[in-house]
Amino acid sequence: MTQHTDMKTQIGWLLEAGVDFVICGGVACVLHGVDRTTLDLDICVSPDAENWQRIVSFAKAHGLQPRIPEPLEYLLDPNRRQRWVEEKNAMVYTLVGESGWIQIDVFLTYPIEWSQLRSRAREQLFNGSILLISSKADLIQAKRSVSPVRKKDLRDIEDLEGLP
């Protein structure tokens, strides 16, 4: 693996692995036209067991490791994921590369139900595949639900609301 892997490559890897996901967070804001910088890729994923298996396989294939000190395979257990949310207040499961250049945050919980998020997502052609990007309205709703509210989320909301 190279020292630096750009966001487009990471997205391509996810699509090649067949992961069913919607891009959320800062990258989605940028793709809607917000002028901001982000170094991580936030994704909300289909909650079915096969999709979680594709995420684990994808991570292993690209040398990604969990930031938390628990085995990657634990991500396959829905009860464990729920405990992380309830007991540790975890919102995401972060995958990182050896170099530190890659960081993918997989949402464990999201304020919008998956089928609604996916059905309202904007489609964009990406290297011959359809890429799903959270709608502006869903991004705004998700950012409003962050507690405690962060300055960057308030800026994103203001910028998203100002877009056509």
Place of tokens 């509210």: 149
Q: In this structure, which amino acid lies at residue 85? A: V
Q: Residue 87 and residue 164: Cα distance in Å, rounded?
A: 40
pTM: 0.93
Q: Which domains does the chain have, with CATH numbers?
A: 7-157 (3.30.460.40)
Q: Give the pLDDT score at 141.
A: 97
Q: Exposed, middle or buried, 75 (CB in 10 Å: 0-12/13-18/19+)?
A: buried
Q: Which residues, 6+ apart, have CB-to-CB distance to 144 below 8 Å? A: 153, 157
SS3 state of residue 2: coil
Predicted local confidence at residue 149, as pLDDT: 84
- Mean pLDDT for the stretch of residues 57-84: 95
pLDDT higher for 67 or 7? Answer: 67
DSSP letter at 134 equals -
Kindly report which listed range (44-53, 90-99, 133-142) carries the lowest average pLDDT score: 90-99
Exposure string for 9-42, b = 16+ CB within 10 A, e = fewer: ebbbbbbebebbbbbbbbbbbbebebeeebebbb
Give the pLDDT score at 5: 62
The sign of the torsion formed by the CA atoms of 123, 27, 90, 142 equals negative
